[in-house]
Structure 1
Amino acid sequence: MNDAAGRTALLRATIVVVAAGGLRALTYRAVAAEAGVSHGLVRHHFGSRDQLIADAMEFAIGESLAGSNMVLAIDSVADFAAGIESLAARESEIQSFQYELLLESRRRPELHHLADQHYRAYRAAIISQLGNLGVVDEELVDLVWFTLDGIVFKQLVSPGEAAPALRLVRSLIERAAGARD
């Protein structure tokens, strides 16, 4: 395994460990066991537990956004909705990892910057995608962002119950995009 592939495997393993057991379960040994490598390799790649957490959050955000149609230009509300609708179901470990970290940041102020990074990245992606649809209303952007954040969380806890809310968000975006024409 080359360095890049090994690092990616360790980041994915970190996500799995935290998604399953929270940050309290995160140890070099747990990550190494999940990745099938020695625990010394985890320290070699990341140096500290804090750096491992920070890099895993950055990786999770990138993977999540890429998997949700939030980084490629979209042409329609349907394209926007398609990525969001399957986000939690498709990437539940990545989403769980992020929510675990967000919740832990309430107890550990040194993690606040990671929560801020999370929220800035998703909000920027939503601004960009809605902008592609001609929607530039900042208040609507925030409403969509907060609603989608809640929907993804709900999907993790009770899968399949968010469809009515997703339809409503889609309808709001369609109306806002249609209003510009």
Structure 2
Amino acid sequence: MTETAGTGRPRKARKQVNYGAGRVALLDAAVKVVARGGLRKLTYRAVAEQAGVTHGLVVHHFGSRDALIEEALAHTVRTSLNTSALETGTGSLADFSAGIADMVSSDPDTQAFQYELLLEARRRPELLTQVRALYDEYFDATRRELARMLPEDADEGLTRLVFAALDGLVLHQLVFGEPEVTEAALGRLRSLLQLLGGDGDGGPAADGGAGRPE
């Protein structure tokens, strides 16, 4: 507690925020609010309290709640793509999605936010367009990396199948923990991709230690 100047009355100390991060800090705060309380808890005041800033600053940056939701969703997708190794650009099975388990363990709120938005889109169709468009980024990144690994370009069915497997692993780890189970399953997925002619460069690590297929 600190004293209000000239009154001697205590006032509640605000949380500190990195003002250099600005908009990103507010997006991170919005993600935490939704991940922990659902979309119904997302208000300017809740975000401001989480970030340790004034209510007016959140309004200034985003203007509307819908804009805040849209930008927060885009922010989480960028964060996930940067930390999950979904698209490494190397075309090596050993590298494919190598960071997923650590991503979920270190930043569960980012993933929880996205699942909250997906479920909310079932109840609020107006969210579906932006959720679909932003998730298309995941599908495109998956397709591009599969094209680097496989002798033939991945069709939509294979792309969706691989991403659905990854998405399911993220959800299960988010709920149940057990990153070692995620890692083991990723090893099996890499083994299956190797059967399709995927680049097994990287030795035993390419299939997560699960053993190369005969």
- Taking the aligned partners of 2:74 and 2:97, their CA distance within structure 1 comes to 23
Partner of 2:186: 166
Identity of aligned residues (%): 47
Equivalent position to 2:147, from 122, 127, 131: 131
Partner of 1:52: 68
* Cα distance, 1:71 vs structure 2: 4.4
Aligned to 1:177, the other structure's residue is in SS state coil
Deviation track 1:105-124 (CA, whole Å, cap 9, x = no partner) reads: 00001110122023201111
- Number of equivalent positions: 178
Q: What is the aligned-residue RMSD (CA, Å)?
A: 1.9
Where do 1:1-181 residues align within 5 Å?
Answer: 1-2=19-20, 5-134=21-150, 136-138=153-155, 139-160=157-178, 161-178=181-198
- Taking the aligned partners of 1:178 and 1:28, their CA distance within structure 2 comes to 48
- Taking the aligned partners of 2:97 and 2:76, their CA distance within structure 1 comes to 20
* Cα distance, 1:65 vs structure 2: 0.4
- Taking the aligned partners of 2:88 and 2:54, their CA distance within structure 1 comes to 37
- Taking the aligned partners of 1:144 and 1:111, their CA distance within structure 2 comes to 25
* Cα distance, 1:173 vs structure 2: 1.7
Aligned to 1:78, the other structure's residue is in SS state coil
Name stretches of at least 5 consecutive residues in structure 1 with no aligned partner: none
- Taking the aligned partners of 1:133 and 1:9, their CA distance within structure 2 comes to 36
Normalised by the length of structure 1, the TM-score is: 0.90
- Taking the aligned partners of 1:177 and 1:54, their CA distance within structure 2 comes to 38
Deviation track 1:83-120 (CA, whole Å, cap 9, x = no partner) reads: 23433223211110000000100000111012202320
Name stretches of at least 5 consecutive residues in structure 2 with no aligned partner: 1-18, 200-214
- Taking the aligned partners of 2:149 and 2:28, their CA distance within structure 1 comes to 33
* Cα pair 1:85 1:166 within 8 Å, conserved: no
